[in-house]
Amino acid sequence: MNVDTSTINPLENEAIYIFREVAAQFENPVLLFSGGKDSITLVRLAQKAFYPAKIPFPLMHIDTGHNFPETIEFRDRLVQELGLNLIVRNVQESIDQGKVTEESGKYASRNRLQTTTLLDAIDEFKFDACIGGARRDEEKARAKERIFSVRDDFGQWDEKNQRPELFDMLNGQIELGQNVRVFPISNWTELDVWSYIEKENIEIPSIYFAHTRATFLRDGLIWSANDDVVYREDDETVEDRLVRFRTVGDMSCTAAVLSSASDIATVVEEIRASTLSERGARIDDKRSEAAMEKRKQQGYF
Amino acid sequence: MEVLKIATAGSVDDGKSTLIGRILYDTKSLTSDKIEAIEKTSQQKGYDYLDFSLATDGLVAEREQGITIDVAHIYFSTQKKSYIIADTPGHVEYTRNMVTGASTSQVAIILIDARKGVVDQTYRHFFISNLLRVKDIIVAINKMDLVDFSEEKYNAIKLDFEALMQKRDYKDQNITFIPVSALKGDNVVQKSEQTPWYTGQTLLEHLENLNKEDVYNEGTPRFPVQYVVRPKTDEFHDFRGYAGKVYGGQLSVGDEVVALPSKTKSKIKDIYFYDEKYQTASRRTSVTITLEDEINVSRGDMLVKANDLPKIEKQFTATISWMDSENLQTGSKYLLQHGVHKVLAKVDQIHHKINPDYSGNDTEVNALEMNDIALVSFKLNKPIYLDEFKKHRTNGSFILIDTQSNNTAGVGFIQ
């Protein structure tokens, strides 16, 4: 039997190569794990990169406290099954310490607050490389992101002064205090990720599949109503709808889509036919045309 | 599915962003919210057509200045292939971006404005695509709608470009000319009715019909060791695997190999991809190899076939494309990264600066500035295991890292 790029995805080969570069070039890497499909895919790719050895770095989850409970259950099960080392740091702690202030009002979200908790955790553990599941097709600021993206002492992204990446060569040289954000699935599209999950038969949290949920409408988007996290006005009426989520961010900034796709195959079919980009259901990007670019400059993941 | 990477090159206002936007639109790759954003902004600007350039211009800084700062990556797919476009700016000062984009691409699209024909920038774009040995070049003669789809005009530009082709080093490059109008959509995805005299394929048809063999030329097998896998578990107690990517030709179980630099011989015992064993590993696969004998191999070492060794050199000459704001000077020291292998390098001599316009006007210089291309000799503190760039695109290239700033300061193509 041959290993060749017609049977094994070239993007998968590229991602495995990147994981090995991280393990070889850095002393203290960490995989940022959100419980979403992209970070679950990263875990599978990391397993492949180092087999038969274990993944040689821990996972870290920055928990906003506003996650879907299904995601947290899934996270804990995955970590246990694979015998991985998981670090959790909470945004609530940063709020309690007075480092950040909770937003209020209709569009309140803890999404932006995560940055402070993340930067503190990088400092605490002295991580020199943070591996994340961001993809260039998600958003236009991400389209300009490098595979190895250097952040300064303040976690900031300098978009005009990025290192050129030539051929396969990844330059991970940094100074003490700097860190590198690493994006092994930079070149994957949303459909690539879903097709991979299907082909590899990877388990993902149940909220990615169609389920009946108490929801309400705002700005043409469908919001979850069966919890206290999402702020709701009195005149926003709650109704049961058959929905699923395309991304798993915070409940406060992730909208659902109407769907009857109940397994991976039907989800892949739906994505293929869909004309709404996945970030279209993320209110954090709709705030302004340059929302992501600004957050990235400040150290957002 | 096959993935094809495409670099784009054009001067300012040649309509590069519009071409990419057009491809995305006609292949139905733009999502409804993106089309909505494009419509909204086009309307605000008072255009009576859709401004597709807005599909790619990303950052606030760029929109303010109406330019493209850096390499952006754009994705689309058809039933047949996945495509990645590296959108590289056409400004004079941005040679480095085009070199970067072309380094990972198998295809380059060079845009020419039909009204202006072959200009100085065209020379540079062709020179760079040739220097980087991009296998397939599409010369898209754009804005044909503004010259009444004139066959005469098209032929005149083609003739000018063919004169340029006589001067190139890399003769195996396939070059295809296509008359297009990105704004109106002629011959991009759909065949134009305005150019009955053109019998060739549309731009997308051309890309769809390219075979892998047409676009890859990498030479003989080279296996740089990225990482040594040592599980130290009960089940895999003595397992010692060499993780890396296969470049060039393929490697098979039983192949006699030599480890460099030790020159110790052994045979390939097993080839793993994840938990499966395979007989053969083709180029560009990320595998883990175990050997019959216990020999000392670490990161940066290289496994090669015993009958096909690369050169083992401590000094060599290379064409350098300089990318840093700090100049390269004779005597300067850099960290040289050749694949995954890092050594210290000292600039021995700058032979001459090459004018990327085929004029043959090489100039004597003492230092290289950003965007300069030059022939430079180096001395290393330890040997590297190299091939000439023209024989091996991967094993014949390296980057130079500034030891102060840690920036990737330049790229080299070994002579």
Compute φ and ψ for A212, nearest 5 degrees. -85, 130
**What is the C-alpha separation between B281 and B264, in angstroms, rounded?**
21
Task: Answer yes or no: are the C-beta atoms of B7 and B105 closer than 8 Å.
Answer: yes
| β-bridge mates for residue A131, sequence order | A31, A182
> What's the rounded Cα separation, in Å, for the pair A180 and B408?
14
pLDDT for the residue B49: 75
pLDDT (0 to 100) of residue B169 = 86
Q: How many CA atoms lie within 13 A of B154 on its CB side?
A: 23
- Domain match, B69 and B123 both: yes
Please state which of the ranges A147-161, A180-194, A212-226, B237-251 shows the lowest mean pLDDT: A147-161
Return the residue of A nearest to B325 by Cα. Answer: A161
ipTM over the 0.90 cut-off:
yes
**Which residue, among B33, B298, B336, would best test binding to A if mutated, counting the most A CBs under 10 Å from its CB?**
B33
Edge-to-edge strand ranges of the sheet holding B280-281:
A2-3, B280-281, B251-252
Tell me, yes or no, whether B136 and B188 share the same domain. Answer: yes
B268 and B331 co-located in one domain: no
Residue B93 is predicted with a pLDDT of 58
Chain A contact set for B268 (CB, 8 A): none
If one counts the domains in chain B, the total is 3
pLDDT value at position A281? Answer: 56
Surface of A (205-234) touching B: CB under 8 A? none
Strands B341-353, B333-338: pairing is antiparallel
What is the per-residue pLDDT for B259? Answer: 97
Can you give the residue ranges of every domain in chain A? Answer: 10-193+290-297, 206-285
Three-state SS for A139?
coil
- Beta carbons of B3 and A175 less than 8 Å apart: no
- Predicted pLDDT of residue B63: 59
Task: Provide the β-strand partners of residue B138.
Answer: B109, B176
A20/B32 touch (CB, cutoff 8 Å), yes or no: no
Nearest to B204 by CA among B178, B241, B169: B178
Taking an 8 Å cut-off on Cβ atoms, the answer to whether B97 and A4 are in contact is no
Contact B408 A47 (CB under 8 A): no
Cβ under 8 Å to B: A residues 117-176:
136-137, 140-141, 143-144, 150, 159-160, 162-169, 171, 173-175
The helix (H) or strand (E) run that includes residue B398 is: strand B397-402
B2 pLDDT tier (thresholds 50, 70, 90) = confident
B275 lies in the same domain as B315: no
pLDDT digits (tens, 9 = 90+) for B263-281: 999 999 999 999 999 999 9
pLDDT band at A282 (very low <50, low <70, confident <90, very high): low
User: Which of these, B107, B123, B8, lies nearest to B56 by C-alpha position?
Assistant: B8
pLDDT tens digit string along A248-278?
877 877 889 899 999 999 998 888 877 666 6
CATH number of the domain to which B369 belongs: 2.40.30.10
Chain Cα centroid distance, residue A78: 16
Q: Inter-chain contact A166–B408, Cβ cutoff 8 Å?
A: yes
Would you state the pLDDT for residue A233? 81
What is each CA distance from B314 to A174, A185, A286, A292, B317, in whole angstroms? 26, 36, 55, 46, 11
Contacts of A216 (CB under 8 A, 6+ apart): A222, A223, A225, A232, A236, A237, A238, A239
Kindly state whether B287 is in contact with chain A, defined as any CB-CB distance less than 8 angstroms: yes
Contact B60 A290 (CB under 8 A): yes
Enumerate helices (H) and strands (E) in chain A, giving the number of each.
Answer: 9, 11
Which of B305, B333, B367 represents a domain boundary (last residue)? B305
pLDDT at B13: 77
Residue of A nearest to B289 (CA): A51
Residue A138 backbone zone (phi > 0: left; psi -120 to 50: alpha; other: beta): alpha
Measured distance CA(B144)–CA(B193) in Å, rounded: 12
pLDDT tens-digit readout, A107-151:
777 778 888 999 999 999 999 999 999 998 887 777 778 999 998
The answer to whether B101 and B72 have CB atoms below 8 angstroms apart is no
> Which has the closest alpha carbon to A13: A232, A185, A233, A211?
A185
Residue B143 pLDDT? 96
Cβ–Cβ gap B58/A50 under 8 Å: no
| Structure-token pair, residue A283 | 């209110």
Confidence of residue B307 (pLDDT cuts 50, 70, 90): very high
B42 Cβ under 8 Å from any chain A Cβ: no
Condensed to tens digits (0 to 9), the pLDDT of residues A175-197 reads: 988 999 999 999 998 889 999 99
As to burial, measured by CB atoms within 10 angstroms (0-12 exposed, 13-18 middle, 19+ buried), residue B366 is exposed
Work out the mean pLDDT of chain B and round it to a whole number: 91
Question: Does B56 share its domain with B124?
Answer: yes
So what's the pLDDT on residue A276?
A: 61
B288 and B351 co-located in one domain: no
**Parent domain of B285:** 222-305
Beta strands in B161-263 (DSSP E): 174-179, 222-229, 241-245, 251-252, 256-260
Residue A211 has pLDDT above 90, yes or no: yes
Residue B231 clears pLDDT 90, i.e. is over it = yes
Higher pLDDT, residue A301 or B105: B105
Helix (H, G, I), strand (E, B) or coil at A38: helix
Residue B221, preceding peptide bond in cis (omega within 30° of 0): no
pLDDT on residue B51: 80
Distance from B117 to chain A by nearest Cα, in Å?
30
**Regarding predicted confidence, which is higher, A292 or B118?**
B118
Which tens digit of pLDDT belongs to each residue from B155-168?
A: 999 999 999 999 88
3-state secondary structure A150-200: EECCCCCCCCCCCCCCCCCCCCCCCCCCCEEEECCCCCCCHHHHHHHHHHH
Mutate to test the interface with B, among A6, A136, A169, A278 (most CBs of B within 10 A): A169
Expressed in angstroms, the distance from the first to the final Cα of chain B is: 34
Using one digit for the tens of pLDDT, what is the confidence trace for A8-67? 688 999 999 999 999 999 999 999 999 999 999 999 999 999 999 999 999 999 998 888
Do B326 and B234 share a structural domain?
Answer: no
Nearest residue of B to residue A175, measured between CA atoms? B406
Q: In this prediction, what percent of chain B has a pLDDT beyond 90? A: 70
Please say if the pLDDT value at position A296 is more than 70. Answer: no
Q: Quick one: pLDDT at residue A154?
A: 76
B134 neighbors B107 (Cβ within 8 angstroms): yes
3-class secondary structure for B360-381?
A: CCCECCCEECCCCEEEEEEEEE
Q: State how far the Cα of B308 lies from the Cα of B293, in Å rounded to an integer.
A: 20
Residue A288 has pLDDT above 60, yes or no: no
Task: Give the rounded percent of residues in chain B with a pLDDT score beyond 70.
Answer: 93
pLDDT class of B52 with cuts at 50, 70, 90: confident
Interface touch B394/A168, C-beta < 8 Å: yes
Last residue of a domain, which of B199, B215, B231? B215
CA neighbor of A129 nearest in space, from A8, A31, A248, A1: A31
In a shared domain, residues B230 and B197: no
Same domain, B193 and B245: no
- CB of B82 within 8 Å of a chain A CB? The answer is yes
In chain A, which residues have their Cβ closer than 8 Å to the Cβ of B243? Answer: 20, 49-50
* CB atoms A290 and B3 under 8 Å: no
CB within 8 Å of B332: residues ≥ 6 apart: B346, B347
Question: In which band, very low, low, confident or very high, does the pLDDT at A294 lie, cut at 50, 70 and 90?
Answer: low
Is B168 strand, coil or helix?
A: coil
The answer to which of A227-231, A232-236, B6-10, B373-377 has the lowest mean pLDDT is A227-231
- Out of B305, B335, B351, a domain closes at B305
Same domain, B167 and B91: yes
Which residues from chain A sit within 8 angstroms of residue B387, using beta carbons?
Answer: none
* Token couple for B99: 């070199």
Q: CATH topology for A10-193+290-297?
A: Rossmann fold (3.40.50)
Q: Give the helix/strand (H/E) hosting B141.
A: strand B136-142
Average pLDDT value for residue range A233-238: 84
For chain B, say whether A287 makes contact (Cβ under 8 Å): no
In angstroms, rounded to a whole number, what is the distance separating the alpha carbons of residues B375 and B415? 9
| Residue B299 C-alpha, separation from nearest chain A C-alpha, in angstroms | 8
Q: Tell the residue number behind the tokens 């970070």, with chain if given.
A: A39
pLDDT of residue B64: 60
Taking only the tens place, the pLDDT of each residue in B187-226 is 999 999 999 999 999 999 999 999 876 666 678 999 999 9
Residues 60-79 of B with CB under 8 A from A: 60-61, 69-75, 77
CATH of the domain at B7: 3.40.50.300
DSSP secondary structure letters along B255-285: -EEEEETTTEEEEEEEEEETTEEESEE-TT-
Instruction: Report the gap between the CA of A267 and the closest CA in chain B (Å).
Output: 17
Q: Per the CB < 8 Å rule, is B226 touching A21?
A: yes
The interaxial angle of helices A264-273 and A190-200, nearest 10 deg, is: 160
Q: Across residues B340-358, what is the average pLDDT?
A: 94
Kindly state whether residues B81 and B226 are assigned to the same domain: no
Quick one: CA dihedral B173, B179, B185, B191, positive or negative? Answer: negative
Q: How far is B123 from chain A (nearest CA, A)?
A: 22
- Do B269 and B387 lie in a common domain? no
